[in-house]
Chains A and B, each alone.
Chain A
């Protein structure tokens, strides 16, 4: 199932709606990396609240997304990793090192606002 990507001011929000196949994850990566340039976005949020499992492939792909987006000049925040998913990830040795995470969408937006303001950009009003 394709991940819908919303444009919210200077940010892109990829909101995972259900369990993803490997192909879906790769498509999410490619779409975000392309759109961040098309919309000149300053930040990207990937909301994984609905992800059932974060295995080594998903973890690596999210990490790739964050690093590719950074190379494109924007910041990425992964939000919504559920407690039991975090538990299994740590047991597997998956720590998403070097990737910014936040509790939920709201915290992710707060982080991006703070981060991009530092660089002189304007913050956007928060969605209700």
Chain B
């Protein structure tokens, strides 16, 4: 499965999905949270918000980061338990931001295109999870191997 890299939040899915060699961003790992219950979702997003605050993201973007973490953690809880979120501070060309990596060993997503379409959901959620997350962040990357698991990596820059 090829990774889908997306650096332009809000652009049309499909048309803009492309493989781009991004300039290597330095990632400093800050926290890792295993997602095994709904309490872990809460803990992850509180840690994420604190980190976003440290990095200097606006209060609005802190909420965005917390919301993204909530959605990604819930995906793990619903489809691919157990999994973990890794939160980190990224730095590239003097810019700082937050990286959230959600890694699970679940069934994988057979059709990523479809999973990224608004309204598509295999569970009882609204089907807004992944497409919504993609709209909220600056960079979005997903790699999924059926039977092996999924890694979603997103960045929100200051």
- A interface vs B, CB < 8 Å? 19-23, 52-57, 59-60, 82-85, 87-89, 91-94
Q: Check B71–A55 contact: CB distance below 8 A.
A: yes
Question: For chain A, what secondary structure do more than half of its interface residues adopt (helix, strand, loop), or is it mixed?
Answer: helix
Q: Give the docked Cα–Cα distance between A50 and B114 (Å).
A: 35
Q: Least Cβ distance of A81 to chain B in Å?
A: 11
Q: Check A56–B74 contact: CB distance below 8 A.
A: yes
- Which chain B residue has the least Cβ–Cβ distance from A89? B67
- B interface vs A, CB < 8 Å? 38-39, 41-42, 45-46, 49, 59-60, 62-64, 66-67, 70-71, 74, 118, 125-126, 128-129, 131-133, 135-136
Which of A21, A82, A83 is in CB contact (< 8 Å) with B38? A21
Question: For chain B, what secondary structure do more than half of its interface residues adopt (helix, strand, loop), or is it mixed?
Answer: helix
A23-B38, A56-B125, A56-B126 given as contacts; is B63 within 8 A of A87 (CB)? Answer: yes
The 10 closest A-B pairs by CB, nearest first: A92-B132, A22-B38, A55-B70, A84-B63, A84-B60, A88-B67, A21-B38, A53-B66, A56-B126, A93-B128
A21-B41, A23-B38, A56-B128 given as contacts; is B74 within 8 A of A84 (CB)? Answer: no
